Amino acid sequence: MQYAAVKDVLAGKFAVGDTVTVRGWVRTRRDSKAGISFVNLHDGSCFDAVQAVVPSELDNYSSDVLKLTTGCSVAVEGTIAESAGQGQDFELQATNVHVYGWVEDPDTYPMAPKRHSMEYLREYAHLRPRTNVAGAVTRVRHCLAQAVHRFFHEQGYYWISTPIITTSDAEGAGELFRVSTLDMMNLPRTDKGEIDYSEDFFGKEAFLTVSGQLNVEAFASALSKVYTFGPTFRAENSNTSRHLAEFWMIEPEVAFADLNDIARLAEDMLKYVFKAVLEERADDMAFFAQRIDKEAITRLQHVVDNEFVHMDYTDAIEILKNCGKTFNYPVEWGVDLQSEHERYLAEEHVGAPIILKNYPRDIKAFYMRQNDDGKTVAAMDVLAPGIGEIIGGSAREERLDVLDDRLAAMDLPFEEYSWYRDLRRYGTVPHAGFGLGFERLVAYVTGMTNIRDVIPYPRAPKSADF
């Protein structure tokens, strides 16, 4: 028996007259008065379903075929034929239909063929992959992930799996998830009455990582070009369409690179992965453009075709102050830009992705490289129309004395960073990198407005089902 994926049948990989078996799920069934049923069959290999034309002569036509409903699983054997219908070149003239699994009570099947809200689908994260929209998101997400790995591999980067559990992440401890095996009903205590974490699994307080950057810098200081692609965590209690408690991050780190080098890397990477999606997932992107966001394809094409605009933070502040627009958050040199500012710059002022550079030192992290002006750091953000910040990066402070001044000024514990300081004590090199939230990338590409709909099982406050 020759099994065929729906995508291969539709792409003409089999000759007309070939006998194949397609296995998948029923999307729709329609019966003609002439005693023929048209069963649309999908298997997730591509966006479209293939039409199986099922004649009433089959033995199980009335016992099985006429009872098929959306979601039933079947194997249909048949011969490839040219399709007379609209839209598709090939269909299947069925000679045998085998039912693997029925749908228990089709009337209450949660994925019954009608329009469901995104909120509703989120409650059925285990069944929503069967819908057009979640299937398309899954394939595009896969395509983007593959393209990211391929891009870095082709450029000579090595993938580093930085740790998920960490004991050294002291910065911003308020937003960390604790990882522990202590018996909560019977916590060990020190003499002072504090929790005795020396009894815990790792012998210390341990948390889920918020970024692999510091860890991956150690590898950039040996293998030159490296990147992470793994999950990161924020215990922020923010129930927004842009935040997840668990999300995937891509963090390249490049030895001997400066801010302009990684700005170019960010632009090259985005263009590469957008091109890959446009070429490899034209079917799904057509769906997003039709049903979700009519700019989905043109927006990506626009990014691919145009140079990113570079702009200094200081110049951006002047533009915002003089643009005649009233913002909710007032603008002046030294403030952190809000989403409304970022979107004005990217959407209205430039109309394309923009790379903002050289931010005030005091609003940025301790590890960012200080510029000679004494007040800014070599940081950059990539702002994209429609979504705002999509990438944040910087040159890293490679000078031990400058780094130490910064640690001291920010009251950060030297001991916690002793290994990080070692990288500056032994053969330090200028280096730079950036971070890209993978789900924001998928949302940007698909036009999906809620980030919870572009990850298989979203985790958010009060929500970690399945």
Interface of this chain with its own copies, residues 188 to 247, rule: CB under 8 A: 194-195, 201-204, 206, 208, 215, 218-219, 221-225, 230-231, 233, 235, 237, 245-246
Report CA Rg, the chain: 27
Specify the DSSP element, H or E, that contains 207.
Answer: strand 206-208
Question: What's the closest the beta carbon of residue 239 comes to its own copies, in angstroms?
Answer: 12
CB of residue 457 vs its own copies: minimum separation in angstroms?
Answer: 4
Closest distance of CB 322 from its own copies, Å: 39
Residue closer to its own copies by CB (options 64, 340) is 64
- Shortest Cβ distance from residue 12 to its own copies (Å)? 16
Site residues for its own copies, 406-445, by CB under 8 A, read 419-420, 422-430
Would you count residue 67 as binding its own copies (CB under 8 A)? no
Please list every residue from 74 through 93 that binds its own copies, using CB under 8 A: 75
Residue count at the site for its own copies (CB under 8 A)? 107
287 touches its own copies by CB under 8 A:
no
| 15 lies in the site for its own copies, by CB under 8 A | no
CA 68 to chain centre: 36
Q: Write out the binding residues for its own copies, residues 138-197 only, by CB under 8 A.
A: 138-139, 141-142, 145-146, 149, 153, 156, 158-168, 176-182, 184-185, 187, 194-195
Judged by CB under 8 A, the stretch of 81-89, 133-141, 338-346, 349-357 that binds its own copies is: 133-141
Instruction: In angstroms, give the least distance from the CB of 317 to its own copies.
Output: 33
Is 20 a residue that touches its own copies (CB under 8 A)?
A: no
Cα 416–chain centre separation = 31
Does 113 bind its own copies (CB under 8 A)? Our answer is no
Strands (E), 32-89: 36-42, 50-55, 73-82
CA distance 75 to 231: 37
Q: Is 101 in the site for its own copies (CB under 8 A)?
A: yes
Q: In what order do the strands lie in the sheet with 309-312?
A: 158-159, 225-233, 246-255, 431-437, 388-396, 376-384, 354-360, 309-312
Q: Say what the alpha-carbon torsion angle 202, 207, 210, 211 is, to the nearest 10 degrees.
A: -10
- DSSP structure string for 251-306: EEEEET--HHHHHHHHHHHHHHHHHHHHHH-HHHHHHIIIII-TTHHHHHHHHHHS
Residue 152 C-beta: closest distance to its own copies, Å: 9
Cα torsion 196, 201, 206, 208 to 10°: value is -150
Q: What count of other Cβ atoms lies within 10 Å of the Cβ of residue 336?
A: 11
Pairwise CA distance, residues 144 & 441, whole Å: 8
One of 36, 118, 125, 170 touching its own copies (CB under 8 A): 125
